[in-house]
Structure 1
Amino acid sequence: MTGQSADEAVESTMLPSQLAQIMRPELESVADEIVAEIRALIPEYRRPLDGPYGKSIKAGVRHAVSLFVAQIADPSASTKHAHEVHRRLGQYEMREGRSLDTLQAAYRVGARVAWRRIMKIGRNSGFSSTVMSQLADAMLGFMDELASVALDGFLEAKACSADALDTWRRRLLQLILERPAVPPEAIEELAQLVGWPTPKTATPVAVRPLVPLRGAQRPTLDADVLAELSGVEPRLLVPGVVTRERIAALEQALPRCRFAVGPCVPLDSVADSLRWARKALVLVDEGALPPRRVVWVQECLPAVLLHSDESLAQQLRGRLLTALDGFTARQRERMLETLRAWLDAQGHVLDMAERLSVHPQTVRYRMRQLEAVFGDRLRDPDARFELELALRALPSAPWRNGAVPRPRTTPTPT
């Protein structure tokens, strides 16, 4: 005999509804297994799945599995809704900055996992190899169809976006800054897509527009600089160490902007460095750092550290100022100024007098007042350290921002 046996023909006829009934209870676990394997095998998909990103991935997989089973039960089942889901999924993948290769790899992984589960069910249910071969053809054709729809969506989104490369570059910068950190392979893949040579170290630059940036403004930046200037916290990322020449170019490209240059760090530490740079900009706004156009965080790390916990700094300030409650506001300012000079000059009276532009006798008089207030704390190294921290944490200390020294006066008991 050259054709199918009667039993096989009946089995082939009965298969669709039987398989659909068997597969329906498996839909949720199959979808979860596909998502898990895609994330395990493709680094770009290893991000947390809460939020719009995860919902899009899960919805696409569940619609695909459900539709395949539905078509087994009823070949005339409509594919319109599933096609729309996967077209939108392709558009989303392009806007997220992923490549066509990544998208197609995800569909291949999905087909492999689904087929593996169908093979297991088929064997357990006693279906013949002929029937399983037919199912394989149907599965591959079905996945090719959905992958083609997603590809169309991807290309549509790309064609509608003249800023596709900029979108991918901004996405790359976002990936580098994400916490928890994304796998290095995901960053490397997107960096290759946009033609950005992945450096071992990089320098983030926090940007503060001194006047609003216009939406259509497109600054001319070096090709290796990643930029996100449209958000509430504009930032740049420069490979390697930022030189003075590079900063001069940024100043020219972004006039009327202030920059805080973070320390040059390995790529997986860029988010921390950018956080310090943003804090430096805040300290400039508060008057804790001089209002320079370019703030180099490496030069003001102690201030950034001291102000990293404002509530704790406030506790330090409170302890210092409470000790001076018995003085008037003007006297308290002089005491704080004198205490800082005493700490800076390590108690040398003549040096203090020079710093304060007052007579040495005035310094001695003020120091007697401070000793009456602080007592043994002035001779205790730990207490002196705390006093200096508190002084530097004051929001508007008289020595900040280039305060002009008062002229030297004759001795006075003030």
Structure 2
Amino acid sequence: MSSTPQGTVFERTLRSCVPEVAAEVTVRIRREFPALGGAGHLDAFVEEFIGHFVALLGEPGTSPEEIVRRARAAGAHEAAADRRPDVLPAAVRLGAGIAIARLAEHAERLGVGVEPSTVGRFAQTAFAATDRIAEAVVAGHVRGDGSPLDQPERRRQRLLDLLLGARPTAAEIREAARRAEWRVPRRLAVIVFRQEDSVAPVFPSDALRGLHRDPPCAVVPDPDGPGRRGRLEAALRGRTAVIGPTVAAANAATSLRWADRTLDLARQGRVPHPDGRPIRASDHLTSLLTASGADLVDLVAADRLAPLTRVRSTLRHELEVTLLALFECHFRAVTVAEMLQVHPQTVRYRLRKLEALFGDDLHDPRRQLEMHLLLHARRRNRMLGEFG
């Protein structure tokens, strides 16, 4: 199929339709191939190969190198997940047929006057590309990321799944670790990350890689050991990645759960991701606690902070900011004044107002903790509203 003006117009028009078509194809694949239901890499891979089809319209000579590399990586994911080598190639062929039909329908709906011969040549080229992609998936399944996927690697995958599943017993962990030739560490952390490209981070050799999971993850022994922290940050730099709390091996699922929740907050822009460094879940305890029950936070805040509604709005904001600073500075007026850049006497005046409003609750340790969390959540939500 040589490049034609019609093909170029066809390509430009359909480029914006790729995400919609890919979403439909992915749903259909998961319905027809239940084994792929948990394949975290599937959505991105489907959108990539449909995008490749569309690129061929504008430039038939588009190199297949990138999509072939992606297909091999997808095959490696399938091997790591211990799925049969014929499942994903069959899904690719099904998806290609659906995608070609839907793209042609979109072209007609959008009023692109394309001759039947152009559509026919496109279909022929796309099906040829499908063959290359399916073959690359099989090759990736056989050889993983370039080296044979041997039995020890499969055993390490099963060990990882055991650690991250329902709470395993110490005996189960020991036996699975023995089979995988893996020394059970005293402490470990689970790292989760967005798979933004097909090249996985380079983890320490004693890490268990879970690239078949959604989101991809790794179990890393002794993450806080000498030199380990710096190496992990270097391996994860530039990715949206979260390092879960450091726990005992039997509690790996707990580290995964908090890492997952923190990654969700990062995707929503609710925790900072500075300088492309990995996020540590333990640094965002308050955000995690308040986000876990956002509706409850709103209800409790309406009750616990109700006294603030009895003052005018301008003073209310000043008192709210001062109250949070008082909690964070242990009621040291001079320290609060420095933080807020006001005179210490102003802080003392506001403190007297707060004592008049809240009474004994202001110095009750349990109420203080509740109000501190609520004020922190309110400040975070206000910042999200300003910068989200």
Measure the CA separation in 1 of the matches of 2:307 and 2:260: 33
Distance of 1:204 and 1:265 partners within structure 2: 9
Q: 1:228 to 1:365 in 2, by over 3 A?
A: same
Unaligned runs of 5+ residues in structure 2 are 1-33, 36-78, 85-137
Q: Summarize the Cα distance change of 1:399–1:367 in structure 2 as closer, same or farther, 3 Å threshold.
A: farther
What TM-score comes out, normalization by structure 1 length? Answer: 0.49
Distance 2:217 2:309 in 1: 43
Cα offset for 1:249? 2.6
Alpha-carbon displacement from aligned partner over 1:122-142 (angstroms, at most 9, x marks no partner) = xxxxxxxxxxxxxxxxxxxxx
1:268 aligns with 2:253: no
How well do the aligned residues superpose, as a CA RMSD in angstroms?
4.0
- Residue 323 of structure 1: aligned partner: 307
Over the matched positions of the two proteins, sequence identity in percent amounts to 30
Mapping of 1:9-408 within 5 angstroms? 95=82, 161-163=142-144, 164-165=149-150, 166-179=153-166, 181-207=167-193, 209=194, 213-215=196-198, 217-243=199-225, 245-284=227-266, 289-292=271-274, 293-301=277-285, 303-305=287-289, 307-327=291-311, 330-394=314-378, 396=380
Question: Corresponding residue for 1:120?
Answer: none
- Give, in angstroms, the shift of residue 223 of structure 1: 1.9
Q: Measure, in 2, the Cα distance between the counterparts of 1:336 and 1:268.
A: 42
- Preserved CA contact (<8 Å) 1:337 1:398: no
Structure 1 counterpart of 2:227, which letter? E
Aligned residues: 248
Tell me, in whole angstroms, the C-alpha distance in 2 between the residues paired with 1:334 and 1:287. Answer: 26
8 Å Cα contact 1:316-1:389 kept in structure 2: no
For 2:172 and 2:362, the matched residues in 1 are separated by 55
Structure 2 distance, partners of 1:274, 1:347, is 37
Q: How far has the Cα of 1:194 moved from its partner?
A: 3.7
- 1:153 alignment partner in structure 2: none
- What do residues 150-169 of structure 1 show as CA deviations (whole Å, max 9, x unaligned)? xxxxxxx9996323345443
Q: Secondary structure, in 3 states, of the residue corresponding to 2:189?
A: strand
User: C-alpha offsets along residues 186-244 of structure 1, whole Å, 9 cap, x if unaligned?
Assistant: 5444434443233343222232x3xx5223x2443322111223543222111234336
Unaligned runs of 5+ in 1: 1-50, 53-91, 98-156, 401-414
- Counterpart in the other structure of 2:31: none
Structure of higher CA gyration radius: 1
- 1:160 and 1:326, CA in 2 relative to 1: closer, same or farther beyond 3 A? closer
Q: CA 1:342–1:398 in structure 2 vs 1: closer, same or farther (change >3 Å)?
A: farther
> CA offsets per residue over residues 350-405 of structure 1, 9 Å max, x none?
332222101234324433443343233224343333322322333527899xxxxx
Task: Give the TM-score normalised by the residue count of structure 2.
Answer: 0.52
Q: Any idea what the Cα deviations from partners look like across 1:143-185, whole Å, max 9, x if unmatched?
A: xxxxxxxxxxxxxx99963233454433321111111x34555
The verdict on how the C-alpha distance between 1:241 and 1:248 changes in structure 2, with shifts beyond 3 A counting, is closer
